[in-house]
Amino acid sequence: MFARTRLNLAPVQFSRIITRNNAVPKCIRRLNSTKSTTPPPPPPPRSPKGKILLFMGVLALGSTVAASLRSKAEPKSAVEPTAKQTVAFPEGEISVVFVLGGPGSGKGTQCNKLVKERGFIHLSAGDLLRAEQARQGSKYGELIAQCIKEGTIVPQEVTIALLEQAIKENHDAGARNFLVDGFPRKMDQAITFEEKIAKSAFTLFFECPEQVMLNRLLERGKTSGRTDDNIDSITKRFRTFVETSMPVVDYFDKQGKVVKLNCDQPVDSVSEQVKKALESRGI
Ligand SMILES: Nc1ncnc2c1ncn2[C@@H]1O[C@H](COP(=O)(O)OP(=O)(O)OP(=O)(O)O)[C@@H](O)[C@H]1O
Ligand SMILES: O=c1ccn([C@@H]2O[C@H](COP(=O)(O)O)[C@@H](O)[C@H]2O)c(=O)[nH]1
């Protein structure tokens, strides 16, 4: 679908939050802690004119000190704008639909149909990771293999760099509509992707009972050759889905950006729901 090039992690850069030391400025601490141990000398006798001059002097000194303390103690923003935050694809440039759901809920099957019927570009995060794992010389191969077998989430830097690269290559070739399948699986990915790559149009969420997904995956495992289509890995993937990925669905749902589909249905019936969902969002 697109030429695969060497994974370059440079495009995804993570903003640094500069926290400021909110401690009381040294000058104030010094002022507070100055305590004389010797008794003050008796005040000299003062004339009324001298008293007025002294009063004005104290007033002037006081306001200068106060102004200087105020400027030093003024709270500064915790996040200093360093470099301007830029998104790789500003709104309107591309359309990204996230496709989420439990393992085996049928995401890939429906995405493939949309590629044929509607010309979407289908980017499966899992497929991209498997390709990177298989790429000769990849320094992430072992890490990816381990995560996939254990059903855990590969660090976002790797997955987002792969996705960004794939989107860029397809965009350069004229593509505008993307189905991002099986991503974001974790909150950090959701936030970073929308900050650095593109805002999602909405999320298609594939609801399916665990038992149905389990049966489908065990069946698929007979021929898929996937290292995670076995009961041990599937159990771990289900747990990761509930604990780590569902919060992402809830996060987008709170923004009114999730369309839920009943996927315990024949492929064509799910496909009808998908089409209606896209129509309802003007895609
Ligand atoms: N609606 C359906 N009814 C019955 N079987 C289905 C349905 N949708 C998909 N399948 C089958 O279930 C299996 C899993 O489907 P698919 O690969 O599309 O799921 P997935 O959500 O992409 O899984 P994963 O997240 O593990 O990649 C496949 O063997 C597929 O043929
Ligand atoms: O964003 C992602 C997506 C996937 N993974 C890992 O890949 C496997 C398989 O994903 P599928 O979508 O089922 O093909 C998944 O269990 C994770 O280990 C990931 O780390 N991050």
The ipTM (two decimal places) reads 0.99
| Band of residue 79 on the pLDDT scale cut at 50, 70, 90 | low
Confidence of residue 31 (pLDDT cuts 50, 70, 90): very low
Q: How many Å lie between the centroid of ligand 2 and the Cα of residue 16?
A: 27
136 is in an annotated binding site: no
112 lines ligand 1 (CB under 6 A): no
CA distance 178 to 96: 5
Ligand 2, CB within 6 Å, residue ranges: 103, 124-126, 129, 147-148, 151-154, 159, 182-183, 185, 228, 237
Residues 120-152: tens digit of each pLDDT: 999 999 999 999 999 999 999 999 999 999 999
Residue 155 has pLDDT above 70, yes or no: yes
pLDDT of residue 187: 98
d(C-alpha 186, C-alpha 250), whole Å: 11
- In the predicted model, what is the mean pLDDT of the chain? 82
Domains and CATH numbers, the chain: 95-280 (3.40.50.300)
What does the pLDDT read at residue 72? 46
Over the stretch 188-224, which tens digit does the pLDDT of each residue have? Answer: 999 999 999 999 999 999 999 999 999 999 999 999 9
The number of residues in the chain equals: 283
**Position 35 pLDDT exceeds 90:** no
For residues 202 and 254, is the Cβ–Cβ distance under 8 A? no
Query: What is the reported pLDDT for 32?
Result: 35
Q: How far is Cα 125 from Cα 184, in angstroms, rounded to an integer?
A: 9
Query: In the prediction, which pLDDT does 38 show?
Result: 39
Predicted pLDDT at 56: 46
**Closest by CA position to 108, among listed 257, 239, 216:** 216
* Contact indicator for 207, 262 with CB cutoff of 8 Å: yes
pLDDT of residue 110: 98
CB 18 within 8 A of CB 82: yes
Confirm if 102 and 206 have CB atoms less than 8 A apart: yes
Say if residue 237 carries a ligand binding annotation.
yes
Lowest mean pLDDT among 36-50, 109-123, 237-251: 36-50
pLDDT, position 48:
52
Ligand closest to CA 102: 1
239 belongs to an annotated ligand binding site:
no
Q: Is the pLDDT confidence value at 28 over 50?
A: no
Q: How far is the CA of 108 from the centre of ligand 1 (A)?
A: 7
**Closest ligand 2 atom, residue 127 Cα:** 14
pLDDT of residue 41: 43
Give buried/exposed letters for 226-242 (b at 16+ CB in 10 A, else e). Answer: eebbeeebbebbbebbe
Ligand 1 neighbourhood includes 267 CB (under 6 angstroms): yes
pLDDT, position 70: 43
Whether the per-residue pLDDT at 36 is higher than 70: the answer is no
pLDDT of residue 71: 42
Tell me: pLDDT of 42 over 60: no
DSSP code, position 183: -
Higher pLDDT, 78 or 16: 78
Ligand that lies nearest to the alpha carbon of residue 125, given by its number in the listed order: 2
pLDDT at 113: 98
**CB neighbour burial string for 74-91, b if at least 16 within 10 angstroms, e if fewer:** eeeeeeeeeeeeeebbee
CA distance 219 to 230: 10
For residue 20, what pLDDT band results from cuts at 50, 70 and 90?
Answer: very low
CB atoms within 10 A of CB 108: 18
What does pTM read for this prediction? Answer: 0.78
Q: What percent of the chain has pLDDT over 70?
A: 70
**DSSP 8-state class, residue 196:** I
User: Which of 73, 85, 72 lies closest to 16, judged by CA?
Assistant: 85
Residue nearest to atom 24 of ligand 1 (CA): 103
